[in-house]
């Protein structure tokens, strides 16, 4: 933020967690600017607010950057790091005093925030002083129960000579918590947040739920998988879990995600062709031409559906790594690669030419390991099994060649 005294006469502070910022906030800021003849709106993402634990909050750096992206094209909107860069707990009264110091004392300040927050203002630090330092704009969403708020505000006005204004903003039907829930449920957030914010959220996987299994849940999953597979296939599965977790350590991947993907990767393997066909029809699983001819290759896709249906696990990263562990796919994630490589290199697979090298590479260079594994798989299917190979194998070999 520019710390020079500026010619601004009316400055509105848009204080909020912005976790994430959405178009409701932007419409609010613009509406207040217009309504009160504001020169500049300064968005201040909270640092360590006194009323929230930081455990479930997105880091202030992410929230700040999303706010910058969202406001970039509006010349009247600025973003400040004032609160996030302040050590310890941040209080609004300190922020407002600091702004009074930075801008000329003559600047008129408005503090825009949610009506819920304003209602609790007496619980904030030095409310009496704060209410004298600036006007407040309490914004409400449609359907907000205003009676209580109006009464509270009347009390504040009388007792502290506070200036508190109301503004109902229809666009605030959107809320940050609703956006987080939508992402969690894999619903679209397009048009609810600016496109740049949507891309940023995707890039950093923000708000995706994290799986945290307890020991009991892990045991329950082991027992379930053991009950669905022959002892030989279950032993293979345990081997895949073990080695996938070992690889994961070197690539900083989520332990529980790897565990679930590895444990369930072959859950549909021994269902029998007829049952596999039935499940593909039932769940409308799309198979390519090659998979239709070789239905046993569909067990990855079926397994992903069964995991979601029976265990309620819907995280795309896990489901995709199970779905594509048989022949791979374009743009494989590290999780996809680890499941593919673990499946090929677990102890029970026995020894074959190149296995030790693939295992070694999988610890530090997944792409090179993939190249070697794909070649090995291609040779095994054509020379030993004397079967045709899925066309994607050749395409992936071509792609991963560059890493060799």
One symbol per residue from 169 to 188: x for binding ligand NAP (CB under 6 A), - otherwise; what is it? ------xxx-----------
Residue selected from 26, 31, 38, 49 as contacting ligand NAP according to rule CB under 6 A: 49
One symbol per residue from 102 to 141: x for binding ligand NAP (CB under 6 A), - otherwise; what is it? ----------xxx-xx------xx-------------x--
3-class SS letters over the chain: CCCCCCCCCEEEEEEECCCCCCHHHHHHHHHHHHHHCCCEEEEEECCCCCCCCCCCCCCHHHHHHHHHHHHCCCCCEEECCCCCCCCCCCCHHHHHHHHHHHCCCCCEEEEEEEHHHHHCHHHCCCHHHHHHHCEEEEEECCCCCHHHHHHHHHHHHHHHCCCEEEEECHHHHCCHHHHHHHHHCCCCCECCECHHHHHHHHHCCCCCCCCCCCHHHHHHHHHHHHHHCCHHHHHHHHHHHHHHHHHHHHHCCCHHHHHHHHHHCCCCCCCCHHHHHHHHHHCCCCCCHHHHHCHHHHHHHHHHHHHHHHHCCCCHHHHHHHHCCCCCCCCCCHHHHHHHHHHHHCHHHCCCCCHHHHHHHHHHCHHHHHHHHHHHHHHHHHHHCCCCCCHHHHHHHHHHHHHC
Least distance (Å) from ligand NAP to the CB of residue 22?
6
Task: Give yes or no for residue 321 binding ligand NAP (CB under 6 A).
Answer: no
In the complex with ligand NAP, the residue whose CB is nearer, 124 or 311, is 124
Residues numbered 137 to 166 that lie near ligand NAP (CB under 6 A) are 139
Task: Give yes or no for residue 275 binding ligand NAP (CB under 6 A).
Answer: no
Residue with the CB atom nearest ligand NAP in the bound state:
114
Residues numbered 65 to 104 that lie near ligand NAP (CB under 6 A) are 91-92
Q: How many residues bind ligand NAP (CB under 6 A)?
A: 24
Task: Give yes or no for residue 194 binding ligand NAP (CB under 6 A).
Answer: no
Least distance (Å) from ligand NAP to the CB of residue 157?
19
Residues that bind ligand NAP (CB under 6 A): 14-17, 25, 28, 46, 49-52, 91-92, 112-114, 116-117, 124-125, 139, 175-177
């Amino acid at each position: 933020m520019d710390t020079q005294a500026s010619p601004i006469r009316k400055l509105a502070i848009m204080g909020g967690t912005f976790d994430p910022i959405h178009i409701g906030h932007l419409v609010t800021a613009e509406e207040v600017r217009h309504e009160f003849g504001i020169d500049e709106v300064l968005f201040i993402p909270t640092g360590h607010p006194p009323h929230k634990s930081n455990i479930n909050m997105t880091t202030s750096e992410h929230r700040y950057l999303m706010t910058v992206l969202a406001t970039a094209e509006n010349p009247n909107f600025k973003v400040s790091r004032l609160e996030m860069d302040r050590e310890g707990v941040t209080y609004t009264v300190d922020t407002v005093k600091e702004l009074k110091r930075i801008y000329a004392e003559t600047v008129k300040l408005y503090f825009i925030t949610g009506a819920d927050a304003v209602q609790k203002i007496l619980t904030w630090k030095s409310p009496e002083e704060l209410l004298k330092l600036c006007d407040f704009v309490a914004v409400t969403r449609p359907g907000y129960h205003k009676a209580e708020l109006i009464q509270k505000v009347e009390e504040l006005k009388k007792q502290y000579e506070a200036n508190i204004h109301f503004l109902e903003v229809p666009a605030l039907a959107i809320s940050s918590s609703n956006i987080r829930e939508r992402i969690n449920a894999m619903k679209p957030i397009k048009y609810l947040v600016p496109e740049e914010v949507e891309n940023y959220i995707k890039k950093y996987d923000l708000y995706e739920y994290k799986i945290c299994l307890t020991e009991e849940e892990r045991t329950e999953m082991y027992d379930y998988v053991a009950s669905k597979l022959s002892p030989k296939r279950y032993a293979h599965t345990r081997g895949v879990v073990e080695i996938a977790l070992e690889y994961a350590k070197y690539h900083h991947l989520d332990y529980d995600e790897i565990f679930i993907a590895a444990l369930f990767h072959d859950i549909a393997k021994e269902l029998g062709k007829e049952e596999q066909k039935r499940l593909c029809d039932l769940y409308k699983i799309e198979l390519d031409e090659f998979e239709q001819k070789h239905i046993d290759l569909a067990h990855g896709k079926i397994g992903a559906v069964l995991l979601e249906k029976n265990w309620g696990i819907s995280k795309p990263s896990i489901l995709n790594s199970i779905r594509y562990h048989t022949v791979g796919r374009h743009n494989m994630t590290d999780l996809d690669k680890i499941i593919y490589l673990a499946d090929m290199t677990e102890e029970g697979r026995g020894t074959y030419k190149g296995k030790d090298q693939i295992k070694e590479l999988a610890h530090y260079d997944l792409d090179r390991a993939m190249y070697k594994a794909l070649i090995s798989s291609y040779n095994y299917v054509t020379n030993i099994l004397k079967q045709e190979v899925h066309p994607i194998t050749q395409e992936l070999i071509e792609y991963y060649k560059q890493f060799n």
